[in-house]
Structure 1
Amino acid sequence: MKDNKSPGVDEIPPKLLLEIVEQISIPLATVFNLSLEEGIVPLEWKEATIIPLFKKGSSNKSENYRPMSLTLVICKLLERLIKDHLVEFLVKNKFIKPSQHGFLKARSCLTNMLCFWKMSQSG
């Protein structure tokens, strides 16, 4: 978890959570496991603060902004844990082909392009 991210509706910054991680890790794990076992996400975790994020162009035009949802850091942490375990399972059980580059660690559009270029040069 990066400590410079914006807090969510609860206004608890990630930096604070990182400072008290030893005190909250067991209670958080309990809440996470209960949520996963029951298939229920606390209502508070579904709330978000929507802010406009500037893209490009004139800052006077509303179309040059996109909405950004600031959700709870704790909810984002659970989402990351689920994603990491799911990707690990898919890779380990060979449900993701070696040619897959998006959304995997150390793989990107650039690595995909380099592999494609290498294959085209050898053929």
Structure 2
Amino acid sequence: FDEPTQDYFLNFVTKTLTHHEQQILETRVTINEIFRAIKDMNTNKSPGIDGIPIEFYLKYWDIIKIELYEIFLYIIDGLVPSENQRTAVLTLIPKEGDLNLLKTWRPVSLICCDIKIIAKILAKRIGPLLYSLLSENQHCILGKSIIDCNTKMRDIMFYTSKNNMTGAIINVDWEKAFDRVNWNFLFKIFKKMKFPDFVITWIKTLYTDVQSLVLINGHCSKKLMSIEGSGKDVLCLCFSLLFSKTHCTWL
């Protein structure tokens, strides 16, 4: 989007955080909050480039918690993470189709667990607040169900048929949706919704100067240019906010 287009879409941002919700987001991260995020993460998953799985943090929590807490505070406050923490290992998973075509391989980002924990903490803070910020017709967050989406579609089709009305159904399939996030526009949305600067800095820290390398047949490529879609928990929440402020002007 160019600047005039971004400003046009920003006019549709009418829902904002309350003062109480802002205070929730600005509350200092605690050691217990970090541990809850770790316990909520799935185990038996491939680690990032440092080779440290989430099971390590669970097993040795009592030993590492103080040092880990201090490191996390530095990163959350805007300190640039280390090069390893900013590096995602891309491994390719085959999809159905001609495996000679690159598009039939799905890239999966293997990210260091410490950065995933920081993102998890932020996602657990933002997630509950999206209920009041998103359209009532969006069902991609906790507290809502995709079944409601199907029910609404059924009711709309019944209503239009009964009243002899014309209409159209649009099915949008986003290709590489997360990779297409316009971060400048997204941060403007956060600002318009009155997200604290502290939270915006937190997100920028997670998605600034991210590097990647590709793992093929057990060998890693050289590090590639920065990527902006790395599959962290908070990214899908960000995309939901971005989508909510653009889809309403399509028709």
TM over 0.5: yes
- Tell me which residue corresponds to 1:5: 45
- Greater relative contact order (Cα < 8 A, sep 6+): 2
- Tell me which residue corresponds to 1:81: 121
The answer to whether the 8 Å contact 2:128/2:142 transfers is no
Q: Distance in 1 between matches of 2:149 and 2:123?
A: 21
Q: Which amino acid aligns with 1:34?
A: Y
Give the TM-score normalised by structure 2. Answer: 0.41
- Tell me which residue corresponds to 1:117: 154
Deviations, residues 42-96 of structure 1 (Å, cap 9, x unaligned): 332111212111111355x2432122221101111111211221223444xx323
What RMSD, in angstroms, separates the aligned Cα atoms of the two structures? Answer: 2.6
Secondary structure of the residue that 1:27 maps to in structure 2? helix
- Tell me which residue corresponds to 1:42: 82
- Tell me which residue corresponds to 1:69: 109
Give the TM-score normalised by structure 1. Answer: 0.75
The alpha carbon displacement at 1:108 in A equals 4.6
Q: Is 2:69 the counterpart of 1:32?
A: no
Secondary structure of the residue that 1:68 maps to in structure 2? strand
- Tell me which residue corresponds to 1:105: 142
Q: Which amino acid aligns with 1:54?
A: P
- Tell me which residue corresponds to 2:56: 16
The answer to whether the 8 Å contact 2:49/2:110 transfers is yes
Q: Distance in 2 between matches of 1:21 and 1:115?
A: 46
Q: Which amino acid aligns with 2:144?
A: R
Secondary structure of the residue that 2:80 maps to in structure 1? coil
Gap change, CA 1:18 and 1:62, over 3 Å in 2: farther
| Identical-pair percentage | 22
Gaps of 5+ in 1: none
Q: Distance in 2 between matches of 1:9 and 1:110?
A: 39
Q: Distance in 2 between matches of 1:66 and 1:38?
A: 31
Corresponding residue pairs, total: 119
